[in-house]
Amino acid sequence: MDQGIGDRFQQETKYQRGKLPAGHLDWSKKPDRYKVYPRAKKIKLEPPQREGGTPFWKTIERRRSCRAFGERPLSREALSQLLWASQGVTKTDKDFELRAAPSAGALYPIETYLAALNVDGIEPGLYHYDVRPHELELLKPGDFRESAACAALDQDFMAEAGAVFIWAAMFERTKWKYKQRAYRYIYLDTGQIAQNLALAAVSLGLGSCQIGALYDDEVNALLDIDGDEESVVYMTAVGMLQE
């Protein structure tokens, strides 16, 4: 059978008994766990709620991909809740923050960016989520409805969303420990985050759709990330349900 790069990747990154990769962790080279834009305007988000929402089993049952959104804006409170539920800090252990979604080796390779398209009280634009203080950092103000949809393989419905979550991987954070197998973990990590977001959206009475079909370098260009050390992996559009 003709072996493509995906087939080779799957084979060559297997763990096999007795053949585990040797090596030690070079702690002097451990990458930073957080990316921060120190000069960006900061938007403090509402404290997340720990109670309420749709009951869990109903939430699971009601999750569907939603590709048509209502016109009303998302609330700031809902946006805050979605960011926390997908990537927020849920526990601090000594000086180490653990997040809402699990991550291989607790290395947290994923950065969250947000295209705020129609959010009450949030200026439209591109933002980065600063995890520890639970703040948004404004990267570029502007109307990104069309560019977000175009970069997602021209999926026009995205322009009607309230916000588009864009997850980018900083590969070295996980490669530092897991070498080439890190790519498996990074994609799995992103799926965990996206599922948390999808369920949180249902719990808040919102709709969401995962987006894997995207022009990687077009999204990277929007975010001003290099596509090499850091690259988009996945996105999710979230918005109000149609009335």
**Which residues in this chain contact ligand FMN in the complex, by CB under 6 A?**
64-65, 67, 155, 209-213
49 or 65: CB nearest ligand FMN: 65
Q: How far is the CB of 211 from ligand FMN (least distance, A)?
A: 4
106 or 188: CB nearest ligand FMN: 188
46 or 218: CB nearest ligand FMN: 218
Q: How far is the CB of 142 from ligand FMN (least distance, A)?
A: 23
Q: Which residue is nearest to ligand FMN (CB)?
A: 212
Q: How far is the CB of 235 from ligand FMN (least distance, A)?
A: 8
80 or 220: CB nearest ligand FMN: 220
Q: What is the DSSP string of the chain?
A: ----HHHHHHHHT---TT--------GGGPPPS----TTSEEEEPPPPPSS-SS-HHHHHHH--B-----SSPBPHHHHHHHHHHHH-EEEEETTEEEESS--GGG---EEEEEEESSBTTB-SEEEEEETTTTEEEEEEES--HHHHHHHTTT-GGGGGSSEEEEEEEEHHHHHHHHGGGHHHHHHHHHHHHHHHHHHHHHHTTEEEEEE----HHHHHHHHT--SSSEEEEEEEEEEEPP-
Q: How far is the CB of 139 from ligand FMN (least distance, A)?
A: 23
148 or 211: CB nearest ligand FMN: 211
Q: How far is the CB of 188 from ligand FMN (least distance, A)?
A: 11
